[in-house]
Structures are given as C-alpha cells and as structure tokens.
Copies of this chain bind each other. A is one copy, B any other.
Amino acid sequence: MAKTKVAVSKECCSSLLSAPLAETDAIGLAHAFAALADPVRLRLLSLVAQAGEVCSCDLERPLGKSQPTISHHTKALADAGLIIGEKRGRWMWWTIAPDRIASLRAVLA
C-alpha cells in the first residue's frame, strides 16, 4: 500500500533530455515505466487499444494467464494511469488513457 497512487501524479517535466530531472519526478516516472516493463501488460495494453473497450473476461484467453493474474495486471496499469476501468453490471470495462500515454511519450522527446 501507500505506493499504488504515486505514479498517477501529473508529470511536471516535459522532457528528460532537455531539463534536469528531480528525484521526486524520477520516482513517479519510474513507476509509470515499470507498468510498461512487462510483456503481458504491453500486450494487454495493445489489446485494449485495438478493441477500444474490453472486459477482463476477454483478456484471459488471448493473454494465456489466469484470472487473478489478469486482475493483477489491470490493476497495475490502472494504478499507473495507463488504462481506465469502469464497472458496468458484472463486467469491468477497460479503455486506454491516451493523454497519460502521451505524457509518457513526451518524456522521451
């Protein structure tokens, strides 16, 4: 606990390469990139982006992982602000967070 929400804070600095990076910002950015540092989460992100909107039950099959593992990865991506979840009935629907991804992309500018 007490760690899951750190990465969601707004990234202050537009680019790594054009300005010195403060320790605090580095920690937040590291958490965000850590969310991308797993092949299952990258493919999950790709699947969600392709479909526009996907429920968790439709992720187990193509990713070849158990239901708790899928839940673990969706939570990691959601905590990092990369996907957004909305519960409708029994299903959890996931969409990508394009502005968040764009801000990460800007860091590599």
Contact = CB atoms under 8 A, between A and B. Distances in A.
Q: Please give the count of copies of this chain that the complex contains.
A: 2
Nearest to A38: B30
Given A29-B42, A42-B26, A17 B108 contact: no
B16 A42 contact: yes
Interface of A: 16-21, 23, 26-27, 29-31, 33-34, 36-43, 45-47, 49-50, 96, 101-102, 104-105, 108-109
A47 B20 contact: yes
A78 B104 CA distance: 21
Interface of A: prevailing SS = helix
Contacts of A30: 36-39, 41-42
A20 to B, nearest CB: 6
A55 to B, nearest CB: 18
A106 to B, nearest CB: 8
